[in-house]
Amino acid sequence: MDLSMKWLNDYVKADMPIKEFCDGMTMSGSKVETYSVQGADITNVVVGKCLAMEKHPDADSLWICKVDVGQAEPIQIVTSAQNMFVDAVIPVALHGATCYNHKDMSFMKIKKGNMRGVRSEGMMCSYEELNLTLADVPYSSNEGILILNNDPEFDKMTIGMDIHDALGFNDTTVEFEITNNRPDCLSVIGLAREASATFDLPFNYTEPTFTGVEGKATDYINVDVKNAALCSRYMAAIVKNVKIGPSPRWMVERLNASGVRAINNFVDITNFVMLEYGHPMHAFDLRYVDGGKIVVRNAEENEKITILDGTEVALSPEMLVIADEKKPIAVAGVMGGEFSGIMEDTKDVVFEAACFDGVSVRMTAKKINKRTDASSRFEKGIDPINAKAALMRALQLVEMLGCGEVVREYIDVDNANKTPAKLKHDAKWISDHLGIEIAESEQIAIFKKLGFGYEDGNVIVPNTRIDIERQCDLAEEVARIYGYNRIPSTVPKLSSNSKITPIQHFEKRIVDIMVSQGFYETMTFSFISPKSYEKLNFCENKKNSVVLTNPLGEDTSVMRTSMLPSMMGVVSTNVASRNLSARLFEIGRVFTPTDERLPVEEDVLGLCAYGADEDFYTIKGVIEEIFSDLVINAKFVPVTDNKTFHPGRCANIVNGDVVIGTVGELHPAVAEKYDVSCRVYAAELYMDKMFAAMGEERKYKPLPKYPAMSRDLSLLCDDEVTSDTIIDIIKANAKFLESVSIFDMYKGEQVPAGKKSLSYKMVLRKDGTMTDEEADSSVNRVLKALAEQNIVLRT
């Protein structure tokens, strides 16, 4: 909402410095975004009058003018303009003035100087040099100096007067950001109310009235409201014998400062009233109201209307229209039809001030894709009392402008509830709610300043204040006018206890381990492109996603079912940025559709790595480190049919029969689809499943008193035998076994084809001194068991 300060001052004398005004309004709830002073860039330009002129002795095209600028002596100005004459009143830029160069509209400063040897002490200005347009000064010729003698307000100008005052371009526009609970503040009067309460200044308002001429609107038109539910009040007045023409300066100024272009007096009046009262108005040309009938009804099936901006709109039966005998002439509350508007030769005008249902207007505007200033006001809620005030103001303006005869008896089809809301005032509740004692009398004073009534302990809420419904709303009114920053600050003693849940603690430990293992945390979007499932060769059930009905684009149209698409996106980005290696992790959410209303949401630890130092075992090692640290029991089971991964380098991570996650080297064909040519290792681990797989907390074991013995076994077995198989056999058969670990794996010339050699270190210890014989017998038991599985000692 752009507010003209001049206009505001018609209602409240807010003449404090503008900064103070803006700060005050912001702190009472009407947030000021910015303000701009009209023509602030034009300085030191005054009204001057040409007293005498003569040709330049050395240049035919130049004139030397003596100009009265209200100083003791006239000044001399040389000009090339050819439209000057003695007694011409013109804008004069004095020495030191700032204005614009009409050639390229660059900003310039005027200095005294010589023109072809003749002294020139200033410059006479065209409208362009004052940064005005022809619309601002329609009487001006396109070329030469702006001749003010033709200005409608010429009589009010004095020589030496500042040009801003002379032309009325001296307003300040304040831009407000009005919250959507306060549609009443989308009007000059609404903001004037606020300013009056904020600065404790009188609100100068009188009900608008008009005189009118004898007659009845019903002699001209007949109004029939068919759907009173969607149109609670419809007022119509007739203005006859209208004279269409330009609006007076003061009206044009106020419209301009509010960001609205003046068009003609009747259009301007409807806009002026909408800005001033916040109530949308419409004006019809009576000639085009067929049969003199205005019917407020629902549109018929397949009905169409061409609206003011020239587009043809298909209507549907839930939409409300204003129709005449034959056809719709306006989409109620949204926009008028193309022939309904005011034209140069319009003779009689119907003014409409109506209350249309907000929801209906919103649905209609949305459906026909035309959100207008009027429709957005109806959407937010309109006051039926204000409708009448607005119509009265429009009629008053017609008479003020002398642009038509108002037919005295207007039409008012009124089904609106105009009883104002009454709220029992509970001063103590308000004080308690805010945490500061504010006296009842002070609270009442605040309500009155805001234009509320007060009767027998009840607050009477003006109908424009649709936001006031309960005691807490009154508390807010008191608080904001009293001043938020005058309310003390207290810290409540919380009677609840802060808790950290085991899963939150678990997550924190995971993050710490990942960071300590050299992984960088990422943050990725949780919606992805469904195409990434194809790129990753996902199986069908992992493609089944929660789908957005209105995504921004295909790339962000489904909720991810896995962290892999996001992680591969990150890898791809980093490879493209020539980052040679990366270790990345994220605990992100994945979404699986269900038969219920809401999907299942699970947090997943995704990790990936690439670079010269990475291989399958480095990433597996990181997972083992997590498991070891958090006492998670899990096994790595080879998987050959997961098409996302390398068929020989992929494992499911399982605890009992629960799959906690998957780890592997990305299938090269998958990596290639992400433009990644290096090997990428990735894993996904479900947080809650990992959490569930956590074993008992560790207990301390006494430090050993006797030394251990170790035995190394170099074994030869078939290539298919997994290391875990061998370790399980060793564990099952070795006596005194403290630990067993693999330390070498060999495949190649030294062993037969299809075989491999694996070397293990067994550490044996007992509670007492162990003999070589004891150790050997333990190893022999193991070797015997291994031999049964065709795993033999390598010789």
Q: Would you give the binding string for another protein spanning residues 408-437, x where CB under 8 A is met?
A: ------------------------xxxxx-
In the bound state with another protein, the residue whose beta carbon lies nearer, of 38 and 517, is 517
Helix/strand/coil for 566: helix
In the bound state with another protein, the residue whose beta carbon lies nearer, of 93 and 575, is 575
Give the sign of the dihedral formed by CA 773, CA 779, CA 785, CA 787: negative
Q: Is 229 in the site for another protein (CB under 8 A)?
A: no
**Residue 71 C-beta: closest distance to another protein, Å:** 39
Q: List binders of another protein among 434-453 (CB under 8 A).
A: 434-436
**Residue 610 C-beta: closest distance to another protein, Å:** 11
Q: Are 434 and 475 in contact (CB under 8 A)?
A: yes
| Paired tokens of 341 | 């508007």
**Residue 520 C-beta: closest distance to another protein, Å:** 4
Which of 238, 233, 265 lies closest to 251, judged by CA?
A: 265
When binding is defined by CB under 8 A, the residue of 300, 521, 719, 724 that contacts another protein is: 521
In the bound state with another protein, the residue whose beta carbon lies nearer, of 6 and 31, is 31
Q: List binders of another protein among 645-684 (CB under 8 A).
A: none
Tokens 């005054």, residue located: 46
Q: What is the DSSP letter of 547?
A: B
Q: List binders of another protein among 304-363 (CB under 8 A).
A: 358-359, 362
**Residue 304 parent element (H or E):** strand 304-306
Which of 384, 451, 482, 278 lies closest to 460, judged by CA?
A: 451
When binding is defined by CB under 8 A, the residue of 499, 698, 699, 701 that contacts another protein is: 499
**Residue 113 C-beta: closest distance to another protein, Å:** 37
Q: Are 773 and 739 in contact (CB under 8 A)?
A: no
**Residue 582 C-beta: closest distance to another protein, Å:** 5
In the bound state with another protein, the residue whose beta carbon lies nearer, of 164 and 182, is 182
**Residue 362 C-beta: closest distance to another protein, Å:** 6
CA-CA distances (angstroms) from residue 765 to 181, 698, 702, 710? 79, 21, 13, 9
Cα torsion through 748, 752, 755, 760, rounded to 10: -70
Q: Is 72 in the site for another protein (CB under 8 A)?
A: no
Q: List binders of another protein among 237-266 (CB under 8 A).
A: none
**Residue 514 C-beta: closest distance to another protein, Å:** 6
Q: List binders of another protein among 466-485 (CB under 8 A).
A: 467, 470-473, 475-476, 479-480, 484-485
CA-CA distances (angstroms) from residue 711 to 446, 481, 731, 737, 761? 92, 86, 14, 10, 6
**Residue 501 C-beta: closest distance to another protein, Å:** 8
In the bound state with another protein, the residue whose beta carbon lies nearer, of 403 and 584, is 584
In the bound state with another protein, the residue whose beta carbon lies nearer, of 409 and 555, is 555
Q: List binders of another protein among 127-186 (CB under 8 A).
A: 179-182
Which of 362, 389, 417 lies closest to 228, judged by CA?
A: 417
In the bound state with another protein, the residue whose beta carbon lies nearer, of 24 and 144, is 24
Q: Of the listed pieces 259-267, 326-334, 453-461, 510-518, which binds another protein according to CB under 8 A?
A: 510-518
Is residue 727 classed exposed, middle or buried when 0-12, 13-18 and 19+ CB atoms within 10 A define those classes?
middle
Q: List binders of another protein among 361-380 (CB under 8 A).
A: 362, 379
**Residue 538 C-beta: closest distance to another protein, Å:** 20
Cα distance between residue 429 and residue 425, in whole Å: 9
In the bound state with another protein, the residue whose beta carbon lies nearer, of 301 and 596, is 596
**Residue 546 C-beta: closest distance to another protein, Å:** 6
- 199-202 contacts: CB < 8 A, separation 24 or more? 199/12, 199/14, 199/16, 199/21, 199/24, 200/449, 201/12, 201/13, 201/14, 202/12, 202/13
**Residue 519 C-beta: closest distance to another protein, Å:** 4
Tokens 């642009």, residue located: 403
Q: Is 612 in the site for another protein (CB under 8 A)?
A: no
In the bound state with another protein, the residue whose beta carbon lies nearer, of 97 and 468, is 468
**Residue 328 C-beta: closest distance to another protein, Å:** 24
Q: Is 733 in the site for another protein (CB under 8 A)?
A: no
In the bound state with another protein, the residue whose beta carbon lies nearer, of 86 and 515, is 515
Q: List binders of another protein among 557-586 (CB under 8 A).
A: 559, 570, 573-574, 577, 579, 582-586
Strand-pair category, 113-115 with 231-240: unpaired
Give the sign of the dihedral formed by CA 519, CA 520, CA 526, CA 530: negative
In the bound state with another protein, the residue whose beta carbon lies nearer, of 13 and 433, is 433
Cα distance between residue 547 and residue 551, in whole Å: 9
Q: Is 526 in the site for another protein (CB under 8 A)?
A: yes
Cα distance between residue 558 and residue 654, in whole Å: 28
Range 522-535 burial, b when 16+ CB lie within 10 A, else e: bebebbbbeebbeb
Total site size for another protein, rule CB under 8 A: 83
**Residue 20 C-beta: closest distance to another protein, Å:** 16
CA atoms within 13 A on the CB side of 19: 0
Strand order in the sheet with 792-793: 737-746, 755-764, 709-718, 792-793
In the bound state with another protein, the residue whose beta carbon lies nearer, of 488 and 752, is 488
Q: List binders of another protein among 28-57 (CB under 8 A).
A: 28-29, 31
Q: Is 500 in the site for another protein (CB under 8 A)?
A: yes
**Residue 185 C-beta: closest distance to another protein, Å:** 11
Q: List binders of another protein among 192-211 (CB under 8 A).
A: none
| Paired tokens of 392 | 């009265």
Q: List binders of another protein among 540-559 (CB under 8 A).
A: 546-552, 556, 559
> Which three-class secondary structure string do you get for 107-158?
EEECCCEEECCEEECEEECCCHHHCCCCCCCCCCCCCCCCCHHHCCCHHHCC
Q: Is 522 in the site for another protein (CB under 8 A)?
A: yes
In the bound state with another protein, the residue whose beta carbon lies nearer, of 181 and 264, is 181
In the bound state with another protein, the residue whose beta carbon lies nearer, of 266 and 610, is 610
Length of the chain (residues): 795
When binding is defined by CB under 8 A, the residue of 284, 527, 538, 760 that contacts another protein is: 527
**Residue 765 C-beta: closest distance to another protein, Å:** 31
Residues 6+ apart with CB under 8 A from 719: 747, 754, 755, 756
Q: Is 706 in the site for another protein (CB under 8 A)?
A: no
Which of 547, 528, 696 lies closest to 606, judged by CA?
A: 528
**Residue 380 C-beta: closest distance to another protein, Å:** 10
